[in-house]
Chain A
Amino acid sequence: MASQNINRREFLKLTAVGVAVAAGTKAVSTKASSEAPKGKHQWAMVIDQSKCTGCEYCTRACQAHNDINPEIEWNKVVPDGTVGDKQVFVPRPCMHCEKAPCVSVCPVKASYYRDDGIVMMDYDRCIGCRYCQIACPYDARSFNWDKFTGKNPMVPEWGTPEVERRPRGVPEKCSFCYQTIDRGLTQGLTPGVDEDATPACVNICPTGARIFGDLNDPESNVSKALRNNSTYRLRESLGTSPRVYYIPVVTPKEA
């Protein structure tokens, strides 16, 4: 029968397969980028906290344009103490991190980087494990515990929906209004300059606290804002390199 030989052969085969799989995995993982690819455009946002009044128009416009469940806020305005007698706010969209933990941990690559740095969700691929929510340092993701049905209370006052509603059972988050950017670019418009190519929260802001644009273009609004102001990013020590920058409120004394 010589089944011992077969055993040995089987064993060697298995070992070979194992090694091949391990090597393959290694090759894939070193190739697969843990960092956003650098495309032609690199979208970023600068938020001037000295101009933000906490009106939450951005939250509402976002909910209308992206057709969001009223229980969910992609763009949250968080009160953050006072400077002098002025209340300070931190509006928080998705940070679109250059090294996004959510992209690294997603088991099915439903979270991924676009070439322009936007961290995107493939809602058709997501299995709803919520590991991205666990991993996100900014609490930027909200899960669809229920399906959003019925009327969106923010429509039409704050805008018209431009994207499909997400199904039940997947997390969702801010996408920098990628649909507006993409459509605007095909029309030859410049995101951050032309309203029709700019995220809804930037357009709606009554005080102009939000600046949007291309980091690759030295003359874009964000590049200029970053050059002319000292800025900070949220939880910078984690090394996620967010693409949302904040211009802090400076006390009159310092100014």
Chain B
Amino acid sequence: MLNTEQHRKIVITPWMIWLAFMSIILLSGLVAGILVLWKGLSITNLTDQVPWGLWITIDLSSIALGAGAFSLCAGVYLFGLKRYQPIARTATFIGLICYTMATLSLILDIGRPDRFWHSLVYWNPHSLLWEVTMCVVLYLTVLVFESMPIVANWEWLRKHMPKIAKMMGGVHHYAPILAIVGLGLSSLHQSSLGATYGVIKARPFWFKPELSVLFMLTAIVGGISLTLFVTMLSSRLTKKAKINDGLVERGALFVGYLLIAALYFRGWDALAQTYVYDPGRTEGLLYLTKGPFAFNFWIVEMLFGLLVPMVLLLYKPARTNRFWRMVALLMVAIGVVAYRWDTNLTGQLVMMPYVPGLPITYTSYKPSIIEILSGAAIVAYGLTALSIGIKYLRVVDHTLIEEAHEKVQVESSEPVRI
């Protein structure tokens, strides 16, 4: 009797609520996105003085937080840390999602999305953005290949198209090569994204070489942190995620060490680089440390983005406590996003006069509701794709060992006939 009743009424599961919630954000964002393509960028709060806003921050943050993929794949396939392979798989899937998120936000952001392909056809090797575009497109391709063995875990595909599933699974044999290419491309574009700002002479707050290094370092820290956080969170939310907590804990310790470097470099970059008054740069620093961004800088970036998680992850009792470890990892990821937001905007909000004798002025920027809705939808797309992956593609499953790799080695040891 109980059974028949259950059959009749629709059971609302948390999964369905989650999907419904995401659908609402996605739909409102879709409407906002269509409005942007239809009406143009005039419905944003971007101006000639602040042409790069929320969407660029989402683009930068996605690429930064997607950096777990190349870092962990390099660790597993190039530096011999084989036991982290299951975590690298999670990172790869997150990377794929993050890079598609970045592409989506750029499609919204450029004034002529219909000419997106121009960036692949008309080359200006002088331009940092050209290099970033090339690397991102190529690396996205690498990520698609790297993700094929993950998609091959899809039950439906295995049942209905076993040949295709097997072929996609077979891409795993090329994992070391893909890891090398991925490491090269990522090193290039992760640092070049920093250099995109670092080469801008017109804005002294940005014009410094260390932006490349900081973007690269914070991307690796943030990317690995997000991967580990997603791993832990999904193991709490669903039985589909099976994790080896010891592995995650070791990874978290590594993040702790990286945070020392990040804190040192970020502190040095922000506080030691501007000693005497330097027009524009000093104003930017004041804006960051004492002005409207002071909370972002001191609290979100420095305290909770670097210092607190560093202590939590290096202090064993805190690190082995799953709750505090998760909190620390999440804070690192948020700190990286805050760093991108602060860096992108401070350089634009401090306006250098081109007329001699005029004072340095400040402008302001607050994203419009259209920017926020479409931006939120890009994030919602990422979260939805990630949760579907965890539920159906065994994205977080540390019991899944890639056995195919061993098999080929046996085959390859057959004697070659001359």
Contacts and interface: CB of A to CB of B under 8 A. Distances in A.
Interface in B101-151: 109-112, 115-116, 118-119, 122-130, 133
A34 B109 CA distance: 27
B352 interface: yes
A255 interface: no
Interface of B: 40-42, 46, 48-49, 51-52, 109-112, 115-116, 118-119, 122-130, 133, 173-174, 177, 180-181, 184, 196, 199-203, 348, 351-352, 354-358, 408-409, 411-412, 414, 416
Contacts of B127: 104-107, 131
A145 B42 contact: yes
Interface stretch (A7-15, A50-58, A59-67, A208-216): A7-15
A25 interface: yes
A81 B129 contact: no
Contacts of B48: 133, 139, 141-143
A109 B123 contact: yes
A96 to B, nearest CB: 14
A135 to B, nearest CB: 5
Contacts of A165: none
A32 B122 CA distance: 13
B202 A78 contact: no
Given A131-B196, A134-B202, 6 more contacts: A14-B181, A32-B125, A81-B358, A134-B348, A137-B352, A144-B111
B111 A128 contact: yes
A29 interface: yes
Interface in A129-161: 129-131, 133-139, 141-147
B40 A168 contact: yes
B173 A3 contact: yes
Contacts of A240: 201
Contacts of B133: 107
Interface residues of A, number: 60
A81 B358 CA distance: 8
Contacts of A90: 355-356
Nearest to B200: A135
Contacts of A127: 110-112, 115-116, 118-119
Contacts of B412: 1-5
Contacts of B203: 134
Contacts of A105: 126-129, 199-200
A143 B44 CA distance: 13
Contact of B118 (A32, A34, A108, A171): A108
Contacts of A125: 115, 118, 122
A145 B40 CA distance: 7
A240 B200 CA distance: 12
Nearest to B124: A109
